[in-house]
Every structure is written in C-alpha cells, then in structure tokens.
C-alpha cells in the first residue's frame, strides 16, 4: 500500500543534462506502481501559475538521450517569498497532490525545504551541472558538463600547441569550482583557479613562463567563473609577463546543453526511481543522492545547510601532475 496516490514533478533553476532522464524515471516508476503523476512546467513559476498536466508513459518517450528539460525550467522570484511558498503549497493541495519531486540545484532545494516545512511531502533530486549539493557524490549533469569542457580543452590544445600559445578557459561555477577542478585534472590543465582555493597571479604567470622555458608548447589555465572573468585573468598574466599572449575562451552555456553522458542518465534514472519509491514508503523532506554507489536520502534541511565538501585530494593531485 503506497503512502502517496498522486505526485508531481518539476525541474527548476539552471537546466542540466539528465533532467529528462530523471523525469522519465519518476513518471515511469510512479505509473508502474499505479500512482498518478503530474508534470509541472517551468519550475516554481509554473506551480504558482497552475501550469501542470497529467503525464503518461508515452509523454516521457524518446527523451532519455535529450539535453534540456521537457518540463522547462525557470528562476522564480515570487517563490522566494513566504507568500509565494504558501500559495505553492495551497495549489498542490487543491490538485490533490500528495508528493512532490523537485529536480534542481541548491536554490531549488531551498524551495523544496520550504514546501516540506509547510507540510508538503517533498523529495529533492540534485539536478545541476555545478556539483554543489552535499550528501551526493555527484549531481545530475555534472559528468556531461565536465566532458564538454574536456572536449573543448582538447581542441584548444591542438591550436595552442601549433602556435606555442597559452589558453585561458572560463567555465561555469559561481560558488563551486568542481567543473574547473574535475575538467582540469581530466584535461591536464597547467593551472586551475577555483573559488575554494586562494591563488596568486604572480605564481600562475611565473609557472607559465617556466613551462615555456622548459619546452612546453602550450599552457592551459582553467578558471571557474566564481574567481573572476577569463579576460581579467589573461590581462593580469600579460601585465606580469608580456611575452605570454594568452587567448581567452568562455565556454558559457555550451556546458549546459547536449546529450547527457551514460553516467548522468544512469544517475538520473536511479535517483528518479528511488525518490518515488521513498515517497511510496511514507518518507519525505529528503534530498536524494548517490554516495559510494548507494542511493541515500538525507534530511533536506541538513542538505541545504551543509556546504559541499571540497575535494582537496583531487586538487593536490592536479598540482602534482601539472608540471
């Protein structure tokens, strides 16, 4: 006997590759167990505008391989207010929805936590390229975003080597440098600049100069947007070492598009299914994640109030290998 009979799912905040696979898993697991499921368009904005529709097995066909989100996404100011959250909870009750699954980043989790405190049975799924949610090893979309950056750096390396140039690559991540860190290790970047680690531009410029003197034919600096603009970093390097002429590439929203990797699809499928089964068992107010291969559900209040642990081991490794 399921604790929920009619649930809803929404995607919120910046979209991420694999959100569709998560929506598919939620819808299909719910229907498999005889639970009605509604899709809410445009995140909390759609909720406040009662923009929801019943989903069926076919409405999530042919989407597992697609980037973006068929439910669309939004950033919604009104939902940040207590009145907006109250209205959202009332609308869910009006439609007889007894469980909500929110797929989004840290901000979306804050919203889910508020709804949970208003008595709505809510589960969060970590859908963001930023990998900035705690109590999960990875977020849905992160693996794809990192692969996109690595692919771009591979291409930049070719042309930088031909011309013996250096490249400054700005990647996403306002408060979390994981995209830069993981892509930096995977692409063999010479320097990785992150919001979590203070850096000294004199040392960065010196290292680049030294690298060229030691016979390197290129140099890659990955900059997380949270530490500043790629252009400013490049200008700072030229001021310190005019012989270096870095070229700047801002990858921007390219990082949020395209087909999700197999890892992201599997993560999304496992977590979508897990969240529905937890709701059925009577659980709620949780953020779902995968830790060391296992699906886990953690009190969402704890999730939103715990900063994601920085991977110091990976950062130290990048310093040892980037000589």
Ligand X SMILES: Nc1ncnc2c1ncn2[C@@H]1O[C@H](COP(=O)(O)OP(=O)(O)OP(=O)(O)O)[C@@H](O)[C@H]1O
Binding residues for substrate: 128-130, 165, 172-174, 225, 247, 253-256
* Euclidean distance between CA atoms 123 and 75, whole angstroms: 19
Residues with active-site annotation = 130
Task: Give the binding-site size for ligand X (rule: CB under 6 A).
Answer: 18
Closest CA to 178 of 135, 149, 218: 149
User: How far is the C-alpha of 227 from the C-alpha of 316, rounded, in Å?
Assistant: 19
For ligand X, the binding residue among 111, 173, 184, 246 (CB under 6 A) is 111
**Whole-angstrom distance, CA of residue 287 vs CA of residue 37:** 19
DSSP class of residue 103 equals: E
Minimum CB distance to ligand F6P, residue 118 (Å): 26
Q: Which residues, 38 to 67, sit near ligand X by CB under 6 A?
A: 44
Nearer to ligand X, 26 or 204 (CB): 26
**Residue 173 binding: pick among Mg ion, ligand X, ligand F6P, none (C-beta 5-8 Å cut-off by kind):** ligand F6P
| Candidate list 54, 155, 174, 307; residue touching ligand F6P; CB under 6 A | 174
CA distances from 266 to 21, 179, 271 (A): 8, 20, 8
User: Can you tell me the distance from the alpha carbon of 242 to that of 235, in angstroms, rounded to the nearest whole number?
Assistant: 10
∠ CA 133-137-141, rounded to 5°: 70
| Min dist. Cβ of residue 15 to ligand F6P (A) | 7
Tell me: does residue 130 bind ligand X (CB under 6 A).
yes
3-state helix, strand and coil shares in percent for the chain, rounded to the nearest 5: 45, 20, 35
Nearest approach in angstroms of CB 57 to ligand X is: 28
Edge-to-edge, what's the strand order for the sheet holding 247-250?
Answer: 191-193, 219-224, 166-171, 247-250
Q: Show the binding pattern over residues 91-130: x = contacts Mg ion (CB under 5 A), - = does not.
A: --------------xxx-----------------------
Burial of 316 (0-12, 13-18, 19+ CB in 10 A): exposed
Q: Report how far residue 317's alpha carbon sits from residue 80's, in angstroms, rounded to the nearest whole number.
A: 40
Q: Which residues contact 75 (CB under 8 A, 6 or more apart)?
A: 12, 13, 43, 107
Please report how close the Cβ of residue 20 comes to ligand F6P at its closest, in angstroms.
16
Q: Which of 14, 104, 107, 285 binds ligand F6P (CB under 6 A)?
A: 14
- Our finding on whether 133 is near ligand F6P (CB under 6 A) is no
Alpha-carbon span 138 to 292, nearest angstrom: 10
> Which entry of ligand F6P, ligand X, Mg ion, none binds 41, CB below 5 to 8 A by partner kind?
none
State which of residues 172, 194, 280, 300 lies at the interface with ligand F6P (CB under 6 A): 172
CA 165 to chain centre: 31
Told to check if 130 binds ligand F6P by CB under 6 A, we report yes
Cβ closest to ligand F6P, residue 121 vs residue 256 = 256
Residues 90-129, one symbol each (x = binds ligand F6P by CB under 6 A, - = not), give --------------------------------------xx
Output the known binding site for ADP.
Answer: 24-28, 157, 188-190, 216-218
Binding site for ligand F6P (CB under 6 A): 14, 128-130, 172-174, 225, 256
Binding site for ligand X (CB under 6 A): 12-14, 44, 75-76, 79-80, 104-108, 110-111, 114, 128, 130
Binding site for Mg ion (CB under 5 A): 105-107
């Amino acid at each position: 006997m399921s604790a929920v009979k009619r649930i809803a799912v929404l995607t919120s905040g910046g979209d991420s590759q694999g959100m569709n696979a998560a929506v598919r898993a939620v819808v299909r697991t719910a229907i498999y167990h005889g639970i009605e499921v509604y899709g809410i368009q445009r995140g909390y904005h759609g909720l406040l505008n009662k923009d929801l529709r019943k989903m069926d097995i076919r409405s999530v066909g042919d989407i597992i391989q697609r980037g973006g989100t068929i439910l669309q996404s939004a950033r919604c100011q009104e939902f940040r207010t207590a009145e907006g959250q109250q209205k959202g909870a009332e609308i869910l009750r009006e439609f007889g929805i007894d469980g909500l699954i929110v797929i989004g980043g840290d901000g979306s989790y804050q919203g889910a936590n508020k709804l949970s405190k208003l008595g709505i049975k809510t589960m969060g799924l970590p859908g963001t390229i930023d990998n900035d949610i705690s109590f999960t090893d990875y977020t849905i979309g992160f693996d794809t975003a990192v692969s996109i950056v690595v692919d771009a750096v591979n291409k930049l390396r070719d042309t930088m080597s031909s011309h013996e140039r250096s490249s400054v690559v700005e990647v996403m991540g306002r408060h979390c440098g994981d995209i830069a860190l993981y892509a930096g290790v995977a692409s063999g970047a010479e320097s990785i600049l992150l919001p979590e680690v203070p850096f000294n531009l004199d040392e960065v410029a010196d290292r680049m100069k030294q690298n060229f003197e030691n016979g390197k034919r290129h140099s890659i600096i990955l900059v997380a947007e949270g530490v500043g603009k790629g252009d400013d970093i490049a200008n700072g390097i030229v001021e310190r070492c005019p012989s270096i002429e870095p070229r700047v590439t801002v990858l921007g929203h390219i990082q949020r598009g395209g087909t999700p990797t197999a890892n992201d699809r599997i993560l999304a499928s496992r977590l979508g299914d897990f969240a529905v089964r937890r709701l059925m068992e009577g659980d709620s107010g949780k953020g779902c994640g995968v830790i060391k291969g296992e699906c886990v559900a953690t009190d969402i209040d704890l999730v939103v109030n715990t900063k994601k642990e920085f991977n110091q081991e990976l950062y130290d490794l990048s310093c040892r290998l980037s000589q």
